[in-house]
Amino acid sequence: MAISPDEAAHRAASDRELVAWVDEHDQLLGALPRAELRERGLIGRCTFILLFNTAGQLCVHRRTLSKALYPGYWDVAAGGMVTAGEGYADSAARELAEELGIEGVQLRFHERFYFDQPDNHLWCAVYSAVSDAPLRLQPEEVMEARFVSLEQAETESQTKPYCPDSLAALQRYKASLK
């Protein structure tokens, strides 16, 4: 499957976007273009929003092939990098609206945690929201989406490619409910 011109243009703009650059203690150091932060292996801030419907099912979506990290992977959370001058909560609301078209819902904060892999260093904030509003997918970032049980998402993650950072956010969410 080829990357559309719209996806390529969106990716280029995304790579130039200024995002929050932080240290290992989540102290703000400044702002850098997203691609530079990634290429230099520096730490950024990110949000994860677990979207549930009123039946308790979780929205999972498949990322487009143009994504810099985890292209074509399934994702259990909407979300993304916190931009320069933006707080975690504002980023979460923006990302949920951009990716899935869900706006005006209450975002419940669960916790922050540090995620560290060789190609992905993030301070993460985990949120959840509930909505039965129709999804409006951002075609440059989301190929498809559906609601499944938590058990189904976890089972699928054993055999299909799922984003490891959002799976970590899901585990943190589940632990926060105990």
Mean pLDDT within 78-96: 97
What SS3 state is found at 39?
helix
109-139 in b/e form (b: 16+ CB < 10 A) is ebeebebeeeebbbbbbbbbbebeeebebbe
- Given a cut of 90, is residue 38 above it in pLDDT? yes
Provide the pLDDT confidence category of residue 2 given band limits of 50, 70 and 90. confident
- CA dist 113 and 124 (Å) reads 5
What global pTM score does this model have? 0.94
Per-residue pLDDT of 13-26, as tens digits, reads: 788 899 999 999 99
Q: Is 17 exposed, middle or buried (0-12, 13-18, 19+ CB in 10 A)?
A: middle
* One-letter amino acid of 97: A
